[in-house]
Structure 1
Amino acid sequence: MSDPDGLYVGLISGTSADAIDAALVDIRAGHCRLLADHTAPMDDTLHDAVLALCRPGDNEIERMAALDMHLGTAFADAALAVIARAGLTPRDITAIGSHGQTIRHLPALHTTVQIGNADVIAQRTGITTISDFRRRDMVLGGQGAPLVPRFHQTALACAGRRRAVLNLGGIANLTLLDGDTLISGFDTGPANVLMDYWCRKHTGARYDADGHWARGGTALPALLARFLEEPYFALPIPKSTGRERFNGAWLEARLDGDESPQAVQATLLALTAQTVADCLRDFAPDDLLACGGGASNSALLEALAGLLPGVNVDTTSAHGAPADMVEASAFAWLAWAHLAGVEGNAPQVTGALSGAILGARHPA
């Protein structure tokens, strides 16, 4: 299209699979302004169905097909809700960018699977939908992740500042910016995925609100050392990971069994903070700006600040990008980039042989 500028909706359900985030974004020449947002929580039944599909099991194809349709409807409803919240109609929207729900991410096999049927979204909303953003990068030899660094560069780069943007979803990923230049980006390891698992197992809550439960425990140095022996942490970049590696079985295999559950939670929080800090030693940022669900965990941000003296640790919200909507906004931007013919990936991040226009278009 000749002029892709307009209003876009970005949709994502992250590794934690706790909700669908929808962001309505006004995009002009690649610059974004968030107009409205909506979060549609997943109930326990849907949440558990997603997590079960993330693990090998029986009847995966049939279960995936059913969940693909169910999530497509849920994503479409989230898009319609955020449009209505802004007082607009679907006719006002140029396109939807839908990341979907990841159920497999296997960069060693050059494959990744996201579900949440984009044809359902396009049909139900009447809005052209762009989806399947990761696989073109993987065909080019890339990791297919992370894909948000180009958006981070657009929204959060600052001349004269070395900035690290930290997305704290189920998995943590970093974007490294030197002024306006995108240096690198990669997954550091678990952010909330292990803490969420352990919290639900022992408290029934799906996550540890504000890190309150972890605050009441004391991290166990020997256990943290065992966690840090995980080979992923020593891998060179580019690298990306997910639930395929970091899951309940990974955690349980490293426990003696007599640890206090609260101490384990504190140690998992320390693991997230330590692995992020270790990845920033050489970069030496001026700012570390957090987004994603973990940005609301003050215990985690305090742990990061303690490990990174001299670094301004803050959230992206203080810099014009609401922390809980950064990823959804990024996929709105990636839909704009698809229609504008702008490369959405960054080879210095994913390791792809070249930049590429990402996504597949599903007309209304």
Structure 2
Amino acid sequence: MSRALRAPMPDLFLGLISGTSADGIDAAIVRFEDGAGRLRADLRLGRTYPWPEDLRTQLVALGQQAAPLTLDDLGELDSRIAEGFAQAANRVLAEAGLTAADIAAIGSHGQTLRHRPQGRHGDGRHGFTLQLGDPSRIAERTGIRTVADFRRRDVAAGGHGAPLLPALHAALLHAPGEDRAVLNLGGIANLTLLPADGAAVRGFDTGPANGLMDAWCLRHTGQPFDRGGALASSGRIDPTLLARLRAAPWFALPPPKSSGRDQFHLDWVETALTGHEAPADVQATLLALSATTIADALRATQPSTVRLIACGGGVHNPALMAAVADALPGIAVVSSAAHGLDPDHVEAMGFAWLARQTVLGLPGNLPSVTGAAGPRVLGGIYPA
């Protein structure tokens, strides 16, 4: 068929991500439109689907470096994660009343097992990032072209491979009239700095957000997360413990920088404990660690910030949101919902957008954020 007679590419993209907390698979169907010099993102439908409990337990244990993997284990896990992602894609399509033919491409983040862009020894040699979830299997199970493995090209170009969403944050949330920042409160917290004058966008991880709190809550209450911040609110901040945790050298590193559960895990917390702390007090201190390190990072990099726009699961923890606001007096701390973006699905929308960028042959990274040698088209395309 000639190019002129081909049907136009659908304008819907489907983003899939399971974050560092491994609390579920986020799926978002998004329509993007370019117009009047600004990108618009219309969320057609967003959902979160739980992992099978045995698989989530394994993913969390691996993130805590608590379980070794054989090559056979690794291969099977790659397949199982992909099956979960494909099922999530098919479920959200069915709920939206759509078919595979309506979707231009899936953007699949995969499940991060290790993220060490500076190498295992931190010397910048042999850096790597590893996300599982076989994209060939996702394409096979859904019948939809799949784009995946977004981070490794940026790492190959000397970058951190993270964060990748600041380019989308800038396209959707930049405002000429005020210095803004976007705060993603996932397992790890990261900031996007959006200066009003149009200067280069910057972004970086600030440290733990929900990941440590979720893991501590699961260990001591059996619940996968601290609903409403109830456990943290029932305890008292331990200033000595907080000081020990904040003294970790990683927090003093300048951007670009990124991290993950393999850096901030319960074994790391245990090294700072005396063994006499009450679980609720540790939870309160972990919440304070998240809030204070976010505030420290923002003050150090863009003290002129007027508005901090928060997204991610941590938005639903009022104790965490209040602690961030208290640590940043004079700055308006608001949910991304106030700007028309569902906080639960901004990340999945981001990977839908990254799939669009790749399909169109456009870069998805910002070198000013990741430290890569230049803009790069990210990921690989796996045909349906």
TM-score, with length taken from structure 2: 0.92
Q: Which residue of 1 aligns with 2:299?
A: 281
Structure 2 residues without counterparts, runs of 5 or longer: 120-126
> Could you say what secondary structure the match of 1:26 adopts?
strand
Q: Which residue of 2 aligns with 1:97?
A: 107
Whether the aligned pair in 2 keeps the contact of 1:153 and 1:177 (CA below 8 Å) is yes
> Could you say what secondary structure the match of 2:344 adopts?
helix
- Which shows bigger deviation, 119-128 or 21-30? 21-30
Q: Which residue of 1 aligns with 2:20?
A: 15
Q: Which residue of 1 aligns with 2:130?
A: 113
Aligned length: 364
Mapped partners of 1:219, 1:108: distance in 2: 33
Whether the aligned pair in 2 keeps the contact of 1:146 and 1:240 (CA below 8 Å) is yes
Q: Which residue of 2 aligns with 1:193?
A: 211
AA matched with 2:49? A
Cα distance per residue 1:282-331 (max 9 Å; x no partner): 41211111111111111001011111111000111111110000000000
Q: Which residue of 1 aligns with 2:155?
A: 138
After the TM superposition, which residues 230-309 of structure 1 pair with which residues of structure 2 at under 5 Å, given as runs? 230-282=248-300, 283-284=302-303, 285-309=305-329
Whether the aligned pair in 2 keeps the contact of 1:171 and 1:193 (CA below 8 Å) is yes
TM-score, with length taken from structure 1: 0.97
1:39 aligns with 2:48: yes
Whether the aligned pair in 1 keeps the contact of 2:10 and 2:103 (CA below 8 Å) is no
- Which shows bigger deviation, 2-11 or 246-255? 2-11
AA matched with 1:63? D
Structure 1 residues without counterparts, runs of 5 or longer: none
AA matched with 1:40? Y
CA displacement at 1:56 relative to structure 2: 6.7
> Could you say what secondary structure the match of 1:278 adopts?
helix
Q: Which residue of 2 aligns with 1:216?
A: 234
> Could you say what secondary structure the match of 2:254 adopts?
coil
CA displacement at 1:182 relative to structure 2: 4.6
Mapped partners of 2:155, 2:10: distance in 1: 28
Whether the aligned pair in 2 keeps the contact of 1:105 and 1:244 (CA below 8 Å) is yes
User: 2:71 pairs with 61, 67, 71, which one?
Assistant: 61
Q: Which residue of 1 aligns with 2:338?
A: 318
CA 1:41 to 1:348, structure 2 compared with 1: closer, same or farther past 3 Å? same
User: 1:160 pairs with 177, 184, 190, which one?
Assistant: 177
Whether the aligned pair in 2 keeps the contact of 1:4 and 1:340 (CA below 8 Å) is no
CA displacement at 1:181 relative to structure 2: 4.8
> Could you say what secondary structure the match of 1:166 adopts?
strand
1:356 aligns with 2:376: yes
> Could you say what secondary structure the match of 1:281 adopts?
helix
CA displacement at 1:53 relative to structure 2: 3.1
Q: Which residue of 2 aligns with 1:329?
A: 349
Mapped partners of 2:264, 2:199: distance in 1: 31
Whether the aligned pair in 2 keeps the contact of 1:137 and 1:352 (CA below 8 Å) is yes
* Percent of matched pairs sharing the same residue: 50
Q: Cα RMSD between the aligned structures?
A: 1.5
Mapped partners of 1:280, 1:39: distance in 2: 30
Mapped partners of 2:235, 2:180: distance in 1: 31
Mapped partners of 2:190, 2:54: distance in 1: 28
Mapped partners of 2:261, 2:307: distance in 1: 28
> Could you say what secondary structure the match of 1:324 adopts?
coil
CA displacement at 1:51 relative to structure 2: 2.2
